[in-house]
A and B are shown apart, each in its own frame.
Chain A
Amino acid sequence: MKSRILLATSSSLMTLGATLVFSLVAMAQNAPGVYAIKGAKVYTLAGPPIQNGIVVIRDAKIAVIGANAEIPAGAQVIDASGLEVYPGLFDPVTQIGLDEVSAVGATVDVSELGNYNPDIVAATAVNPASAHIPVTRASGITHVVAAPGASGFDSPGGGVITGQASAFNLAGWTMDEMQIKRSVAMVINWPTMETRSFDFATFSVQEKPFEEAKKDYDKKINEISDWLDRARHYAQVKEKGSPTNYERDLKLEALVPVVEGKLPVIVIAARAREIHSAVDFFAKQSIHMVLADGADAWKVKDLLKDKKIPVILGPTLREPHEEDAAYDREMTQPAELQAAGIPIAFSSFGAGFSRRLSQYAGTAVAYGLPHDEALKAVTINAAQMLGISDQVGTIEPGKLGNLIVTDGDPLEIKTQVRYLFIKGQLTSLENRHHQLYEEYRNRPQLVH
């Protein structure tokens, strides 16, 4: 009874949110498809910034950029004098669309049951009407990846091979319209060597001696190896064998692109020992991996450099996990890794906190990361890591028209996004939060 009411409440709230999104996006989508942004300083991130540049958008893509670019007839001209243009920001590990209200299970689709779910795809469950989408894009994030099974503040993760992450734009009526790449990476939660864990089923602390924890850890890694071996064999049978001689297996089928090197793997690991064993493992498997979270990456940076492992960092604003760690350990790590030549990207690992992406990057700059590197780490770097840099990440002709026009440094807290372009369309900045603000700002003053 209770859960049904809750469902009803949340779905009516969703409907409210959806209605708002509907009307706002509808307005945006009916606008002309040709724009010219002029008068702004354009940070293409593909070369030096262009003072007083012009950016022309046409047919969902960036058409021309330049100080003297020709503005096509019929283009909607946006006077951006005194403003700045940047590529839209990219949050590469999120639960946006998969997690509406974290404590309400009915609204959460982050982690499937069971440890091995390579065949599930995040895009299936992303709710295009999620209130998180307009809220997040209002902060300048134009596209994200939703990663199944990744744990963040908003939701606990779970599973080992947790599914395929999906990259999509934060605007569109349906997922088909939104998606950039339905399957952009396979997500693997690397096993941990925990000796102590809390079991919610029995409300007890489970402890095991290190030897036992290590055995469990090795066992899980061997399982991953088994899955990949079987996937290779499945690919072989499928390709070379007789069609009557194999039974279709959806899970193994999903792993075939991984073992064939066509789908990158996002490996979520935090501790040095685990990062190390993951890197060694995938090197042996000849599978390209992207490290995500990487809290201890600085401890193994030589290895990461040597094996060319890029790192999608977890939130900069989190506690060092060791008591004796330098108090600014998390905040200086991005600079340290970047200086060592390791490609880095920032991410929120969440939904409700996604709009802090620029704050994570900005804080890293405060603690030593060069500003232009930080900008790259919220735009092009992750796109390159995940193989979608042909479509997003910089302002270059031919790429998707995902851009933001800001009144200042996008990493600075008080900066506002003035204009938002997603897939070449001017997109409304209206969102649930601003709506509620306006509504209650206009509540008549109480007479007393």
Chain B
Amino acid sequence: MPDTQRGLRPSLFHLLLAFAALAALIGMSRGAFGEGGEPRYFAITNARIMTAAGAPIDGGTVVVAKGLIQAVGTNVTIPPEAWVIDGKGMTVYPGLIDAGTNIGLQEEETPGPVSGGRGAARRSMTPSGPIPMGPEDRPGTTPWRVAADEFKTDDKRIETWRDAGFTTVLSAPDSGIFPGQGSIIDLGGDRSGDFVVKPSATLQVSFRPAGGFFGFPDSLMGTIAYVRQMLDDASWYAQSEPIYDANPTKNERLPYDRAERTISQALAAKETVILPANNSVQILRGLRLADEWKIPAALYGGQQGYAVAEAIAAKNVPVIVGLKWPERPKDADPEGEQTLRELRFRDRAPGTPAAFVKAGVKFAFSSDGLAGPKDISKNLKKSLDAGLTPDAALRAFTKDAADILGVGDRLGTIETGKIANLVVTDGDIFNEKTKVKDVFVDGRLYQVHAETPSEKPHGGDDKPNRASASPAADRGTSTARVNR
């Protein structure tokens, strides 16, 4: 037959070939090479469910389907595909959210002048590279750095945090005055992109002078002035760029400034602006600046909030409270001066969360500076002892954290439709004796086993169970995602 006619009627063989290829493609997207065993349906039955959206449900069931919570209650339909976990004697919590980390990111040497503290020895006050002499040199400004773009999945903390019941963190770059944007990361996935819930969630700001000695800025007031100018510039850009675009022949063209563009976009997207503020002077200053600059801010640190809780509540600004409570430096001079001011601060700081609850300040927690979940737990206990109720603590780690980070519509509670981030424990999650049994991240099950005395290498079991401290194995050939 002539070619032209053959083209009109593909043979059946060709069709089958095409179909097989297509099927293979689809299969690949679902899992490596025909791996269809990844469980996506679960039901945890007969458990105490702390929804963080209302009263606890006793004897309840949570149904997870394809990454989301399909149903919650005492009378729910369990899909036939579901892997049923008997929750008798167990409690189910929403996955905990740590609202201040740099998990997955490289630790950075903080540039700029020394502000004190351990590990600051011999740090030069002069920055490397050309010394910025004015705001136009954009010192310490990299707002385009997004944590999600730099996120490394081999960070051991992912597992350590998850095993303790954390399913979600805010991770953010930290270097300079505009370090970048924080991303909301779920602690489970294959490729780094899988982990990311929201890539650009927060706009990070710091008031650390980044100019080094003799560079700009080398003072707190210079840094604040720089932030003010930067925000002015971004707002100018947001106003001017559309005018120019619509009337290119009427105005001299605008120069390109990546920072202006990025920041104006971030503000247009209503990203929460993270303002550092730890003691009462800084907190009140942060509130005033947030007002002046008309930005949706969250205060970061907030540890002297106990003294100014009403003022914070009046401005309706949320706080991400640092759980690394202030303490005397370990290598301090034993006869060195301790001021009454510092002593009172160290004594009262753990009472801040309770004070916030009383005044109606919305807050979340950050583990910034703490070594791991054990310290988080230890430090949280100080707040519980100082009057923070377990309910309020839970809210801060779940619903309120999600709200503050702008993902309250999809995370943070155990409600139908929310992302299935769950923690299953054998008791009160804030009790140090309680063990975490299972953690769900985006509806994938990670079983937690008690720490063994020595690390066992990850075996190539068929049983999808050994979630321990083993390093991440090759991705392509493992049996099931639950192993990670």
Contacts and interface: CB of A to CB of B under 8 A. Distances in A.
A289 B122 CA distance: 36
Interface in A309-338: 321-324
Chain B contact residues, majority secondary structure: loop
Contact of A204 (B123, B335, B340): B123
B334 A210 contact: yes
A323 B339 CA distance: 6
B333 A193 contact: yes
Nearest to B124: A204
A206 B331 contact: no
B209 to A, nearest CB: 13
B458 to A, nearest CB: 39
A322 B214 CA distance: 29
A324 B339 contact: yes
B124 A323 contact: no
A202 B116 CA distance: 17
Contacts of B16: none
B20 interface: no
A211 B113 CA distance: 24
A273 interface: yes
A207 B213 contact: no
Contacts of A202: 124
B336 A205 contact: no
A324 B114 CA distance: 25
B332 A208 contact: no
Contacts of B118: 207, 209
Nearest to A322: B337
A136 to B, nearest CB: 35
A81 interface: no
Contacts of A11: none
Contact of B331 (A205, A211, A321, A323): A211
A193 B336 CA distance: 10
Q: How large, as a class, is the contact surface on chain B?
A: 20 to 34
B339 to A, nearest CB: 4
A210 B333 contact: yes
A273 B337 contact: no
B339 A205 contact: no
A193 B125 CA distance: 23
Contacts of A321: 337
Contacts of A204: 114, 122-125
B77 to A, nearest CB: 63
A213 B336 CA distance: 12
A195 interface: yes
A203 B126 contact: yes
Interface in B89-116: 113-114, 116
A205 B114 contact: yes
B122 A324 contact: no
Given A210-B334, A273-B335, A324 B340 contact: yes
Contacts of A273: 335
Nearest to B341: A323
A207 B120 contact: yes
A298 to B, nearest CB: 16
Given A202-B124, A204-B124, A195 B337 contact: no
Nearest to B119: A207
Contacts of B125: 203-205
Nearest to B340: A324
A184 B118 CA distance: 44
B17 interface: no
Interface in B336-376: 336-337, 339-341
B268 interface: no
A272 B337 CA distance: 12
Most chain A beta-carbon neighbours within 10 Å: one of B121, B126, B213, B335: B121
B341 A205 contact: no
Given A323-B341, A324-B339, A203 B124 contact: yes
Contacts of A213: 333
A210 B332 contact: yes
A266 B118 CA distance: 36
Contacts of B335: 272-273
A73 to B, nearest CB: 66
Contacts of B126: 203
Nearest to A325: B337
Contacts of B340: 323-324
Interface in B297-351: 331-337, 339-341
A272 B339 CA distance: 17
Given A195-B333, A324-B340, A203 B213 contact: yes
Interface string A183-203: 000000000010110000011
Contacts of B120: 205, 207
A211 B333 CA distance: 8
A210 B341 CA distance: 22
A206 B122 contact: yes
A35 to B, nearest CB: 54
Nearest to B117: A207
A321 B337 CA distance: 9
Contacts of A323: 337, 339-341
A321 B336 CA distance: 12
Contacts of A324: 339-340
A321 B334 CA distance: 17
Contact of A205 (B123, B214, B334, B337): B123
A195 B122 contact: no
B333 to A, nearest CB: 5
B344 to A, nearest CB: 11
Contacts of B123: 204-205
Contacts of B332: 195, 210
Interface in A193-244: 193, 195-196, 202-211, 213
A253 B450 CA distance: 73
A206 B124 CA distance: 9
Nearest to A211: B331
Nearest to A214: B333
A209 B331 contact: yes
Most chain A beta-carbon neighbours within 10 Å: one of B118, B213, B333, B341: B333
Contacts of B334: 210
Nearest to B330: A209
Interface string B195-227: 000000000000000000110000000000000
Contacts of A207: 114, 116, 118, 120-122
A322 B335 CA distance: 12
A203 B121 CA distance: 13
A196 B115 CA distance: 12
Contacts of A210: 331-334, 336
6 contacts: A193-B333, A195-B332, A203-B125, A210-B336, A322-B337, A323-B337
Given A209-B118, A273-B335, A321-B337, 16 more contacts: A202-B124, A203-B214, A204-B114, A204-B122, A204-B123, A204-B125, A207-B118, A209-B331, A210-B332, A210-B334, A213-B333, A323-B337, A323-B339, A323-B340, A323-B341, A324-B339
Interface of B: 113-114, 116, 118, 120-126, 213-214, 331-337, 339-341
Interface of A: 193, 195-196, 202-211, 213, 272-273, 321-324
Q: Which 6 A-B pairs have the closest CB atoms?
A: A209-B331, A323-B339, A204-B124, A210-B333, A205-B114, A207-B121
